[in-house]
Amino acid sequence: MQAARRLYVYLLSGVSLGFVLFGLQSLVRVLVETFGLRGDVLSGQLDASQQLSGALALLGVGTPVWLLHWWFAERSIRPEHDPSGAERQSALRALYFALVLVILLAISAFAISDLVFGLLAELLPAPDTYYGSTPAAALATVLVGGAAWAYHALLRRRDMSAGELHRAAVWLPRAYLYGAAFGGAVWSLTSLVPLVDAAVRAAVGNAVEPYVWIGSVGPTIVGAAIWVGHAWYAGRLRSDPGWRGASERAARLRLGYLVALIVVGVTGTIALVSAALEPALAALLGAGRAPDQIVPAMATGAIAALPFAVGGWYLHARTLRREATVEVDPDRPGLAWRLEHVAVGLTGLAFAAAGSARLITITLDATLGAHPEFSGPVSELALDLPLAILGAAVWIWAWAPMERRRQAFPQAEAASTVRRAGLLIVLAVAVIAGLSSLALILYRLFGFLLSAGLSGDAVGELSTPAGILLVALVAGLYHGLALRLDLAVALPPKPEPGLAEPEAIAAAPEPIPAEEAEWESEGGPVLPPGIPLTLRGPDGSDLEAALKAARDALAEGYRLERD
């Protein structure tokens, strides 16, 4: 009954809110144009009376419906109507706020970007065809959407301040918080690349048309503001001494957000550094750009890679490590370390595999004479070779410490879910890519044997799947063998004959043992000296309680670990 009521109230509140906001946007748009800001209404492209009529109609229909249903929604959280706090804990209420906040934020962000673009286009000789929306419409959307977003954000903050929340009432708003920060970061970092390119070309004296770069100013600024604002608020929540701080510090969504931005940083760094190396390598191969274009192209890639390397990769990797060391959970440092290295390693491996497959394809085409009239492989080689080399270097940089850690903690690493997931991801992708490529090769071969009359260049069509198949085979075999070794270590040994059941439990390895290794600057574990011990007890004894008592009795600086 309560779920159906909530679904009705919040659904109608959301729909009617849309009517109200659209009406307010049209009304404010006409008012803004009255003060002279460029638009379509008073310039004759749109009829002002029709705009006002539509706005008043939407407001007349939507306002009373929204006020009524939102009054019901707000009334239901009052202490006299909800003494147990069930309404504040409702997943539907949390979902409503999360959806409204993300939609209003996206609409307002794009409107601000259009407003910045329109104002710059007014000052610079940019063609009118590049307008996303007029400055008046964009400003009206910003005013209305921003005010609505701020109102709902304050209400959600009030709900959280009223008492502890659980389950969906916590993680749905958290998903909005980190989703918005992640989206803003990606939007800002990717929009910065055209600005860097325009700045470099202008610095060397090349002519740059305004429409090439003014469209990137707004997304860069707005994306950065969303990113920094939401990340700052998330940091404040994490440092809160109450329940919100405790919940935020234990949140896996925060770990996912940090790891996702590390992946974005690694991706942008490899791609842009490869793009910076491509002009010089192409020139060495005799198929590059004009000499006066090589330096600007290299400078653009190198400079644009810095925000990804520093703002995306380094800062978030450092945050991930720093936050893990201050957590109460003893497993968190090991988890954070594995997440970082697995994410970086998989990203580097993806670039290495893609670049290597393309290099094999180009080699086969050149060796077997496919596409003799095509001069593209030289320029493709200049880009694919840096991708393969940089990707392999990043993979080795991340994988080598994981192998050293596996030698130091064989059972812990073999039982690690993160490590196991990384190996399985590579294995799954390799199997799928290999099977798909093999199917294409067999299709072409069977067609030739059966005289199916297939058209096209057989060598050119087989070189790409052959390259993918070879790379998939190597990657799959290596990671499959690593997985097999982990499985052999992770399986607990069988109890010896005559060994009591409590002793067998004590001798078996823990699925995810606690680790409290210190950390060097490069992120590797430093193992203090220790003595391997085995705890045994009589039949029926509580070995876990005995282990806990022994740990509690240790002096400062000593600890007991499970191997």
How far is CA 457 from each of CA 274, 364, 371, 399, rounded to the nearest angstrom? 30, 13, 8, 40
Same domain for 519 and 484, yes or no, is: no
Write the pLDDT tens digit of every residue in 157-176.
888 887 778 888 888 989 99
Predicted local distance difference test score (pLDDT) of residue 227:
95
Complete DSSP assignment for 119-133: HHHHHTT--GGG-SS
Same domain for 465 and 514, yes or no, is: no
Domain assignment present for residue 370? The answer is yes
Same domain for 223 and 198, yes or no, is: yes
Write the pLDDT tens digit of every residue in 36-89.
665 555 444 556 677 788 888 989 999 999 999 999 888 888 776 666 667 788
Predicted local distance difference test score (pLDDT) of residue 523:
45
Same domain for 547 and 409, yes or no, is: no
Predicted local distance difference test score (pLDDT) of residue 505:
38
Domain boundary among 193, 224, 249: 249
Give me the phi and psi of 134, to 5 degrees please: -70, 155
Same domain for 483 and 541, yes or no, is: no
Same domain for 155 and 22, yes or no, is: yes
Q: Pull the structure tokens for residue 443.
A: 């299709």
Predicted local distance difference test score (pLDDT) of residue 308:
95
Predicted local distance difference test score (pLDDT) of residue 231:
93
Same domain for 337 and 203, yes or no, is: no
- Residue 308 half-sphere exposure, CB side, CA atoms within 13 Å? 25
Q: Is residue 10 a contact partner of residue 94, using CB atoms and an 8 Å limit?
A: no
Average pLDDT, the chain: 81
Predicted local distance difference test score (pLDDT) of residue 72:
87
Same domain for 404 and 532, yes or no, is: no
Same domain for 130 and 98, yes or no, is: yes
- Domain span at residue 65? 2-249
How far is CA 403 from each of CA 298, 408, 419, 477, 524, rounded to the nearest angstrom? 35, 9, 11, 17, 11
Poorest-pLDDT segment among 122-126, 179-183, 236-240, 503-507: 503-507
Predicted local distance difference test score (pLDDT) of residue 42:
47
Same domain for 131 and 180, yes or no, is: yes
Same domain for 453 and 506, yes or no, is: no
Stated pTM of the model: 0.81
Radius of gyration of the chain (CA): 30
> 366: which residues sit within 8 A by CB, 6+ positions away?
377
Write the pLDDT tens digit of every residue in 42-54.
444 556 677 788 8
Same domain for 32 and 157, yes or no, is: yes
Q: Whole-angstrom Cα distance, residue 356 to residue 177?
A: 38
Domain assignment present for residue 557? The answer is no
Q: What is the average per-residue pLDDT within 476-496?
A: 78
